[in-house]
């Protein structure tokens, strides 16, 4: 009971930080000419991940959606995009730390989920390729983008379900976190770019994909997401593993 209460308090603490970073976003962030900001709003999610693991960070990430829906001027739409952009930053390193069976072929769910994930990512990459070529293709409708994205994240969930992790110390290795960061940025860049051009702009702003590409080039969209993700992971990793700033919170939680 005490540990559960402590867990709730930890999540609440990180959500409070999220709200503070959102409110202070003008001095603590940069808003690009296209309206995409580079900020520290999702930093508490990464801090929670490195300190307490995937489940706690997932709770903070979900809570962030509701907090930003109320506090952020962009409302539910902005909160949704921040959530979609942040999820790959905790899912990818979490997958790298999973303990799988020696013969992974015996775990049917993992194999199926991996296949779903690869097919969905290929679909999203195909859409991304279409963006790079700036060609119109009716096949890539917002519905297909939505289905591919949902399938992609659902596959991640199936892979991670019922598998233990190798502990938080796994992420202290700079080489491992760099590999995880590169993979996470790849996933984040593709999913956010595709969703913005083929779903957010056409559905919520009534701006066709071609017009959206003219407004903000695909490489600017992709690059800003890479910059944002790198900032979040780098700052969180340095604070947790290269300073003792948050060590007391982690030890207090473990003792309960």
DSSP code of residue 168 = G
Cα 244 from chain centre: 25
First to last CA, the chain: 9
Q: How many residues does the chain have?
A: 256
Cβ-proximal residues to 70 (8 Å cutoff; 6+ apart), any chain: none
Note down the domain range covering 96: 2-255
The residue behind tokens 């769910």 is 109
Q: Calculate the CA dihedral of residues 145, 149, 150, 156 and round it to 10 degrees.
A: 160
From first to last of the 256 residues of the chain, give the pLDDT tens digit: 556 677 788 899 999 999 999 998 877 778 777 777 889 999 999 999 988 888 888 899 989 999 999 998 888 888 888 988 898 888 888 877 766 555 444 455 555 555 565 556 656 666 665 665 545 544 455 566 666 666 766 666 665 555 445 566 778 888 888 988 988 898 888 888 888 887 788 877 888 888 888 888 888 999 999 999 999 999 999 998 888 665 555 555 545 4
The CATH number of whichever domain residue 181 belongs to comes to 1.10.1760.20
**pTM for the whole thing?**
0.78
* pLDDT, position 72: 87
What total number of domains does the chain contain? 1
- Residue 121 DSSP SS3: helix
* pLDDT, position 139: 45
Burial 154-182 (b: 16+ CB within 10 A, else e): ebbebbbeebebeebeebeeeeebeebbe
DSSP for 26-81? HHH-EE-TTS-EE-STTHHHHHHHHHH-HHHHHHHHHHHHHHHHHHSTTHHHHHHH
């Amino acid at each position: 009971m005490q540990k559960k209460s402590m867990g709730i308090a930890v999540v609440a603490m990180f959500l409070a930080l999220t709200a503070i970073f959102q409110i202070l976003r003008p001095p603590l962030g940069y808003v690009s000419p296209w309206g995409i900001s580079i900020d520290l709003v999702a930093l508490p999610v990464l801090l929670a991940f490195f300190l307490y693991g995937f489940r706690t960070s997932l709770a903070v990430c979900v809570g962030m959606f509701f907090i930003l829906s109320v506090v952020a001027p962009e409302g539910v739409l902005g909160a949704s995009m921040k959530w979609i952009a942040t999820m790959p930053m905790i899912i990818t390193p979490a997958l790298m730390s999973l303990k799988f069976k020696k013969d992974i072929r015996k775990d049917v769910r993992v194999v199926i989920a991996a296949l779903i994930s690869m097919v969905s990512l290929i679909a999203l990459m195909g859409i991304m390729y279409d963006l790079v070529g700036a060609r119109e293709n009716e096949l890539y409708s917002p519905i297909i983008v939505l289905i591919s994205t949902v399938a992609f994240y659902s596959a991640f969930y199936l892979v991670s379900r019922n598998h233990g992790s190798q502990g938080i110390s796994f992420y202290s290795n700079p080489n491992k976190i760099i590999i995880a960061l590169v993979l996470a940025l790849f996933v984040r860049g593709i999913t956010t770019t595709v969703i913005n051009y083929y779903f957010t702009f056409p559905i919520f702003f009534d701006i066709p994909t071609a017009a959206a590409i003219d407004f903000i080039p695909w490489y600017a969209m992709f690059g800003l997401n890479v910059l944002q993700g790198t900032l979040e992971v780098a700052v969180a990793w340095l604070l947790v593993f290269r300073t003792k700033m948050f060590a007391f919170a982690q030890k207090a939680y473990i003792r309960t």
